[in-house]
Amino acid sequence: MTQAPTDILDLSRCAEEAIRTPGSIQPHGFMLTLSPTFEVQQASANLEGWTGMPAQQAIGRPLAQVVGEAASERILAEIATAPLVARPVYLGTVTTGNGAHFDVSAHAWDSLLILEFEGVERRRAADFRNLYPLIGDFLVKANQPASIPELSELAARRVRQVTGYGRVLVYQFDADGHGKVLAESKEDGYESYLGQHFPASDVPAQARALYTLSPIRLIQDANYEPAPLVPGLNPVTGQRNDLSFAALRSVSPVHLQYMRNMGTLASMSVSLIVKGKLWGLISCHNAEPQKVEVDRRTACEQLGQILALCIESREDARELQFRLEVRRIMVEMLGHLTKGADFLENMSGVFPELLRFGRAGGVAIVVDDRVLTYGDTPDEPQIRALTDWLSQRGHAEVFHTDHLKDVYPAGADMVRNASGLLALPISRIHQHYLLWFRPEVVQTIEWAGNPRGKQASADDPTQLTPRLSFDAWRETIHGRSLPWHVAEIELTVEFRSALLGIALERAEQMAELAEELGRANKELEAFSYSVSHDLRAPLRHIVGFSDLLIEAGGAEDPERRQRFLKNIKESARLAGKLVDDLLSFSQMGRAALRPTTVDMNDLVAACIDKLGMEMQGRNVDWHIEPLPKVCADPTFLHLAMFNLLSNAVKFTSGRDPAVITITSEEEGDFTVFHVADNGAGFNMEYVHKLFGVFQRLHRMEDFQGTGIGLANVRRIIERHNGRAWATSVQGEGATFSFSIPKHPIN
């Protein structure tokens, strides 16, 4: 690969280049690829300069004829005792037939054995012992109670000491891929980047993926001429070689120009992998070409791994402390909410706690025609308009954003006190919400160059941007609040389940005084055993796995503990879902219907859009005939149709494609709708159980669910004076139907 002229380089190309298959290597060493019988399949074009043998002549020859008998025997002996994988393995130092000395690394990848030879002055193998004290010293200090920036600064100093680079940075990627410099160690004369941000375009997504895969990358001289592989295509795959793990892999010419613009001719990057993801980089720069031999690179890589482990432990501790504090506030609130009978009065009594729970500036409760606020909030008309917007978009779970105006146009008028929003729907039927508002936090970010400066000036001959200059550039960010922590989102969902549990208890108390007590008692008798069985099962799992977790408290098996915790979490989630669905079912019988004209085409489209996550990765073929309008309660009918379509998606999970058909027909005074699928179907002998509460005709292991969805469908349709039924051939699919009267409900 030849380097492109600097007058046509464009940084945007970095995100598109085949960086894993550059077709060439850096010339401070040479590369050979070998067959299983150790014959040379490819050689880098600079082979002659290192060994005296032209690359073309090496093809097809045994390794010994290319590098000499002694070197070949040493390499093959090491390979025999160290089975090779994707990551390069250091095989030692060899002397080739022409008397040159090389550090040799090997790895098996892309259907070939890849050997890399890096020229060195010494005859002996690299000595790692002298570098262990540096690592040991870092370990001792890492065990002290130091913050992540303090540990990063210590790591930067140690890496600079090991490598001799003029400047070493440690920076962290944020959620958008931008990097912030946390720590720096540099010689006098090097510009400081401490505290500055580097835009995500500097390290495109595919480069970050490669850093995750291969934790170290070295560029010895940014002015190098790449040495292409001969032949250019992998003889096994017929494609360009995948050099993802090769230390000599050539890099993008755009990146080389980036380095030169930065005043850097040598660089090294060490990946910081935390919990399997690229957390950040140790980035080393030098104004002049700089060699870093394998022993020193290995020491830096190990130091990076130790730093990543320290970061993980400190982030885990900080996360745990944060969760404990938020949970403590939640438990305190729930204790107050169970004392009184009036929901709104109870909620208004814990307004200060709600504010602390969401680290918010203001909080609001919207229940029917009442809006209660506390702290600094938008006015009542703005809050009502906001809840209308949330309801129309079907946000049935927690909605959160730290830049409301970008997703909700009217949010531009609420930037001062509502740049951030956390919205919790507290009813599946009614437009009831608990809202937390966070005020705008104006931020000033210092970039190492303008991140939006995508074009150079017309007079500048170089089109590599934005790094024609690395001068600090300040940007002021408006319209954003502090971001919502993932723990806040998760615990808000948990808080919702607790609120619904309290509401369910209140509903049960009110049911004792309701006129429909007789029918409620009959229903309770009919499914009391099922409720007991279904709700107790996940609770037994929680207790059982908690006992196992306590017993395994001293065991050194984190995977086992994680498995227990995952089972506890899933069981708790299922128990909450059962309570959720039971409350929803109970509300169906009491909430007033508000019939209006409903366009069934729009309603079905909204349901399918809401099912997007459930269908991710699935091949679902929808056949939807034009549907008529009906007179019905849109909220209730939306829930009924969503349950039927969700069932169709769930029970066709084993089909590719899944075929779901929605049709309608006229039958006298009724409009009938049919939802047909090609899924698992059911045995018609048990069709009488199908619409019962907590009834399932399939095993929970095969199809997840609480058994309340179809009971809700029947109750909704019957309250509209219609009828719901189903037909099926087991293994061939099912058709669910319901009728809606053509005339308004009395």
Does residue 62 belong to any structural domain of this protein? yes
Mark whether 562 and 608 lie in a shared domain: no
Mark whether 633 and 731 lie in a shared domain: yes
Q: Structural domain tally of the chain?
A: 3
Q: Which of 193, 196, 136, 147 minimizes the C-alpha distance to 168? A: 193
Band (719; pLDDT cuts 50, 70, 90): confident
Band (461; pLDDT cuts 50, 70, 90): very low
* Helix and strand numbers, DSSP H then E, in the chain: 20, 27
* Residue that finishes a domain, picked among 585, 606, 635: 585
Mark whether 630 and 573 lie in a shared domain: no
Two tokens at 632? 């019905």
Does residue 254 belong to any structural domain of this protein? no
* Residue that finishes a domain, picked among 527, 553, 585: 585
Query: Where residue 65 sits, what CATH number does that domain have?
Result: 3.30.450.20
CA–CA dist 507, 591 (Å, integer): 12
The neighbouring-strand residues paired with 574 are none
Boundaries of domain holding 111: 24-120
110-134, pLDDT tens digit by residue? 999 999 999 999 888 877 776 677 6
Lowest mean pLDDT segment, chosen from 23-27, 211-215, 524-528, 564-568: 524-528
Mark whether 650 and 520 lie in a shared domain: no
Residues 6+ apart with CB under 8 A from 715: 585, 588, 589
* Residue that finishes a domain, picked among 120, 145, 171: 120
57-102, pLDDT tens digit by residue? 999 999 999 999 999 999 999 998 877 888 899 999 999 999 999 9
- Give the Å distances, CA to CA, from 259 to 297, 559, 605: 20, 42, 51
Q: Which of 238, 300, 230 minimizes the C-alpha distance to 60? A: 230
660-674, pLDDT tens digit by residue? 999 999 998 999 999
- State the burial class of residue 263 (Cβ atoms within 10 Å of its Cβ: 0-12, 13-18, 19+): middle
12-56, pLDDT tens digit by residue? 444 456 789 999 999 999 999 999 999 999 999 999 999 999 999
Percent of the chain at pLDDT exceeding 90: 38
CA–CA dist 582, 474 (Å, integer): 54
User: Looking at residue 489, what is its pLDDT?
Assistant: 86
Pair 743, 631: CB distance under 8 Å: yes
User: Looking at residue 693, what is its pLDDT?
Assistant: 53
The continuous run of DSSP H or E covering 318 comes out as helix 294-337
Query: Where residue 557 sits, what CATH number does that domain have?
Result: 3.30.450.270
Question: What is this structure's pTM?
Answer: 0.61
Highest mean pLDDT among 499-503, 676-680, 700-704: 676-680
Question: Looking at residues 707-729, what average pLDDT do you find?
Answer: 84
User: Looking at residue 2, what is its pLDDT?
Assistant: 33
Does residue 32 belong to any structural domain of this protein? yes
CA–CA dist 515, 587 (Å, integer): 15
Mark whether 553 and 670 lie in a shared domain: no
Mark whether 494 and 622 lie in a shared domain: no
User: Looking at residue 314, what is its pLDDT?
Assistant: 87
Mark whether 580 and 595 lie in a shared domain: no
The neighbouring-strand residues paired with 169 are 184, 283
- State the burial class of residue 656 (Cβ atoms within 10 Å of its Cβ: 0-12, 13-18, 19+): exposed
> Is pLDDT at 165 greater than 90 in this prediction?
yes
Lowest mean pLDDT segment, chosen from 50-54, 410-414, 470-474, 482-486: 470-474
Mark whether 645 and 694 lie in a shared domain: yes
Does residue 149 belong to any structural domain of this protein? no
Q: Which amino acid is it at 623?
A: H
The one-character DSSP state at 3 is P
Does residue 554 belong to any structural domain of this protein? yes
User: Looking at residue 255, what is its pLDDT?
Assistant: 87
Mark whether 542 and 633 lie in a shared domain: no
Pair 369, 383: CB distance under 8 Å: no
Q: Which of 294, 304, 285 minimizes the C-alpha distance to 164? A: 285
Cα dihedral: 141, 147, 153, 157 (round 10):
10
Does residue 682 belong to any structural domain of this protein? yes
Query: Where residue 651 sits, what CATH number does that domain have?
Result: 3.30.565.10
Q: What is the mean pLDDT of the chain?
A: 80
Does residue 233 belong to any structural domain of this protein? no
Pairing, β 620-624 against β 658-667: parallel
Mark whether 678 and 605 lie in a shared domain: yes
Tracing tokens 């047909």 back to the chain, one arrives at 676
Lowest mean pLDDT segment, chosen from 272-286, 574-588, 695-709: 695-709
Does residue 501 belong to any structural domain of this protein? yes
Mark whether 488 and 347 lie in a shared domain: yes
Mark whether 577 and 661 lie in a shared domain: no
Alpha-carbon Rg for the chain, nearest whole angstrom, is 33
